[in-house]
Structure 1
Amino acid sequence: MNIKFRLTLMSFLQFFVWGAWLITIGTYCFNAKGWTGAEFGAIFSTLGLSSLFMPALTGILADKWINAERLYGILHVCYGLILLYVPKVEDPNTLFYVIFGAMICYMPTISLSNSIAYTILKNNKYDVVKVFPPIRVWGTIGFIAAMWITNIFSSPTPPSIFKDFGLSVGNAISDISGSPIYANQFYIAAFMAIVLGIYSFTLPKCPPQKTISEDATFVEQLGLTAFKLFSSYKMVLFFVFSMFLGGALQLTNMYGDAFLNDFAKIPEYKESFVVEYSTIIMSISQVSETLFILAIPFFLKRFGIKQVMLFSMIAWVLRFGLFAYGDPVGGLWMIILSCIVYGMAFDFFNISGSLFIETTTDSKIRSSAQGLFMMMTNGVGAYLGSKISGFVIDNYFTHGGIKDWHNTWLSFAIYALIVAVAFAVLFKHKHNPKDVESVSH
């Protein structure tokens, strides 16, 4: 079988098994279980907690002791088995530990999948710079496909395409599994994760490279030498803003689908397209993401790294602000536009931030510095964003069990605006077109 096709399938499934539940777990916790924002925030914070240490630990394992594709397969099988247990959990405190276990298995596979793809492509004499991006795009497509399938098979309202049959597909699966249809998202993800785990054992071997010298210190083995970057004022600012933006990303992942589903509680919107196909509406964000990736080279060359990062922050303001004023009828365009600007909000900071690290750090610690960047966004930022937002929503924007989504999103927009203004004023970085050219070649 063609190597590129096999890696494309791996990339597709890698994000399919995450997209099947990541955006919709909020709806599950709020609507199916009736849990509070703080309880859900704690559960969602496991993504950040696991990102603090697991990628580094699995990186050491793959570098020194075990084939990357085997470790990847073991982690996905374990991830799938843990997800199978999720629908049986009735207590939010227990679910915290269950999801934490799942995230310990899943989060390191994101970087492992990249490493596996790079290794296999290089071993087969492919130009990684040209060949890998089209392969990676299929990961986003997999995420979108999972969201669509979840919406169809886990919706409490039978999608209109199935109404003529007198029974929704979601209810049919519910009858088989004996669980609420909201739980189908976890069964879908679990099944495909186990399939991916088994499939990975058939990939070309990626043996340990032993890139870490035998006499390296424990600190060097863990990649902690990059922490010396915190002695630079400019780098401290960059990592602090990375943390703030990591928190913003969690807000939209946590509450987007639950926000759209809550329109069902308003009679005039109960049967609207937005409520019936909330996850499909949210998937516009991922479609936008794939399109904005193509625009990044132009923006970087024209405006520079700092301006592109600032564009991302402004896009977050629009993302939240448009949600605050959108509704399924007259304000549908705001909801859709919010999903479109998400692509700029997500891609522009992640990629320009990665480029900033690439062009401003010593080559000896560059990989570790990139890991530190991801730790601040997906680790510290994600954890704080999850915990603090849950507390704020429970104490300030929930009244009589009803969430005030308008003021919730408005407060998030104000937060993003403050971050953007502070970044524009405090962060100094001169645009140098050669930086972009040096990385693109």
Structure 2
Amino acid sequence: MSIKFRLTLMNFLQFFIWGSWLISLNVYLDKSLHFTGGQIGSIYATMGIASLFMPAIMGIIADKWINTERVFGICHIISGFLLYKATTVTDYESVYLYMLLNTMFYMPTIALNNTVSYEVLEQKQLTAVKDFPPIRVWGTVGFIIAMWMVDLLGLTNSALQLYISAGASLLLGVYAFTMPKCTPKQSKEKRTIVSMLGLDAFVLFRQQKMLVFFVFAMFLGAALQITNTFGGAFLTDFGSQPQYANSFAVQHPSILISISQISETLFILAIPFFLQRFGIKKVMLMSIVAWVLRFGLFALGDPGTGLPLLILSMIVYGMAFDFFNISGSLFVEKETSIKIRASAQGLFMVMTNGIGAYLGGVISGWIVDYFTVNGAKDWQSIWLSFAAYALVLGIIFPVVFRYRHTPAAGKIGKAKAVDITPH
């Protein structure tokens, strides 16, 4: 069995687990458990809370003490058990607790998945920029298949979606232990206090370009969390209007939303060309513009004559997500020293799926509640508010992010090692 196939299966399961509930859980929380917008937002914000510290901690453990593939597997086994426990409760406090604990162990696996993939490819003398995107695209395929499975089995409004995710998580946890060994990097250099505490990656904030990059990654992470939290509920809400009650968008919201992930598969494959041709600055600006379109088209669309606008919104999502998430991970990979690789990926997760996701989940919940009157949500105002947010980011980003791109085959600008000694 080739290593590319093995990494493909690993990436497939990694995102199949997430796709089983990320897009559809909000429907279950809204329609079955009758949670408020603020409560739903806070449950989705658990991903942000967990990502504030857990990816960094697990990255440190993988960098310093335990093989990365083992840390990855242990996290998935624990996460699968906690997902199962979340199916046994229905009150807000208990659901919140189990989802928080689950995300504390799932969220680090996203960065660890990247780290294992990069290191194994390097062991086999392959390159991350060229060989990882075609592997990672199968993660998106796994996400899509999970969404379709949940939708077609009628589990969008059921806790059973978490059973599927739990089973896949346990399977991947076991499979991870069969992957090639990714051992901690041993060094004969004298280790500083900063190094021993695993705070090496925070030195990246000394570089202005990296500081600005991480801050805007945080803002874009908030934008991503908004559609994850309320995309499904937005579509199913049209069911309260007789003319839309039997429409495809209302009956199969997850399948419609899956167009977003299908779009991802195309844009992932385009990443090497765009990064090498335009550089990270222009690629991230393209992502921001795509977010403006994503939210704006949601505001104007509906399941009837406005369905093409909803579909177009799903299509631009591929660029919005990939051009900051996948490209950003590759940028961090090339701009950091091998000594802090896992920690740096963990820091990227902290900024995007940590602080960004927390802010996106909580603030979007507030905005949804603000535009809700007598149980009816003014979705057009909600989505236009988010579009305005993305537009402001698009205006500021190219002014403050100073990065000179040098086109070169297989490189993202000029990669260089980062000085990790304290000043």
TM-score by length of 1: 0.85
| Residue 96 of structure 1, CA deviation | 1.7
Q: 1:429 aligns with which of 403, 409, 414?
A: 403
| Residue 407 of structure 1, CA deviation | 0.9
Using the alignment, how far apart are the partners of 1:355 and 1:72 within structure 2?
A: 19
**Matched residue SS, 1:22:** coil
Residues 289, 391 of structure 2: 8 Å contact kept = yes
| Residue 104 of structure 1, CA deviation | 1.4
Q: Does 1:276 align with 2:247?
A: no
Residues 14, 139 of structure 1: 8 Å contact kept = yes
**Matched residue SS, 1:300:** helix
Percent of pairs identical after alignment? 55
Distance 1:113 1:350, change over 3 A: closer
Q: 1:192 aligns with which of 161, 165, 168?
A: 168
Residues 398, 404 of structure 1: 8 Å contact kept = yes
Which digits, 9 at most, give the CA deviation of each residue in 1:254-298, with x for residues without a partner? 111111111111111111111111101111111111111222344
| Residue 228 of structure 1, CA deviation | 3.8
Aligned to 1:410: 384
| Residue 99 of structure 1, CA deviation | 0.6
| Residue 306 of structure 1, CA deviation | 2.0
Distance 1:238 1:198, change over 3 A: closer
| Residue 151 of structure 1, CA deviation | 0.7
**Matched residue SS, 1:154:** coil
Counting only pairs closer than 5 Å after superposition, residues 170-189 of structure 1 correspond to structure 2 as: 182-189=158-165
| Residue 63 of structure 1, CA deviation | 3.8
Distance 1:47 1:226, change over 3 A: same
**Matched residue SS, 2:66:** coil
Q: Does 1:266 align with 2:265?
A: no
**What one-letter code is carried by the residue in structure 2 that aligns with 1:330?**
T
Aligned to 1:312: 287
Q: Does 1:100 align with 2:100?
A: yes
| Residue 252 of structure 1, CA deviation | 1.1
Which segment drifts farther, 229-238 or 278-287?
229-238
**What one-letter code is carried by the residue in structure 2 that aligns with 1:390?**
G
Aligned to 2:421: none
Aligned to 2:19: 19
Distance 1:154 1:367, change over 3 A: same
Using the alignment, how far apart are the partners of 2:352 and 2:256 within structure 1?
A: 25
Aligned to 2:10: 10
Using the alignment, how far apart are the partners of 1:229 and 1:296 within structure 2?
A: 24
Q: Does 1:289 align with 2:288?
A: no
Q: Does 1:393 align with 2:373?
A: no
Q: Does 1:78 align with 2:78?
A: yes
Using the alignment, how far apart are the partners of 2:277 and 2:182 within structure 1?
A: 41
Aligned residue pair count: 414
Counting only pairs closer than 5 Å after superposition, residues 250-399 of structure 1 correspond to structure 2 as: 250-354=225-329, 357=332, 368-394=343-369, 396-399=370-373
Aligned to 1:177: none
| Residue 404 of structure 1, CA deviation | 1.4
Residues 405, 414 of structure 2: 8 Å contact kept = no
Higher relative contact order (CA 8 A, sep 6+): 2
**Matched residue SS, 2:233:** helix
**Matched residue SS, 2:304:** coil
Using the alignment, how far apart are the partners of 1:440 and 1:136 within structure 2?
A: 24
Residues 43, 96 of structure 1: 8 Å contact kept = yes
Using the alignment, how far apart are the partners of 1:431 and 1:61 within structure 2?
A: 33
| Residue 313 of structure 1, CA deviation | 0.7
Aligned to 2:146: 146
**What one-letter code is carried by the residue in structure 2 that aligns with 1:31?**
K
Using the alignment, how far apart are the partners of 2:144 and 2:287 within structure 1?
A: 21
Which segment drifts farther, 353-362 or 302-311?
353-362
Using the alignment, how far apart are the partners of 1:48 and 1:8 within structure 2?
A: 27
5+ residue gaps, structure 1: 157-180
| Residue 57 of structure 1, CA deviation | 2.0
**Matched residue SS, 1:267:** coil
Distance 1:78 1:222, change over 3 A: same
| Residue 137 of structure 1, CA deviation | 1.6
Distance 1:153 1:423, change over 3 A: same
Aligned to 1:137: 137
**Matched residue SS, 1:135:** helix
Residues 72, 113 of structure 1: 8 Å contact kept = yes
| Residue 363 of structure 1, CA deviation | 7.1
Distance 1:407 1:273, change over 3 A: same
Q: Which has the larger radius of gyration?
A: 1
Residues 67, 205 of structure 1: 8 Å contact kept = no
Which digits, 9 at most, give the CA deviation of each residue in 1:13-67, with x for residues without a partner? 1110111001111111111111111111111111111112222222333344434
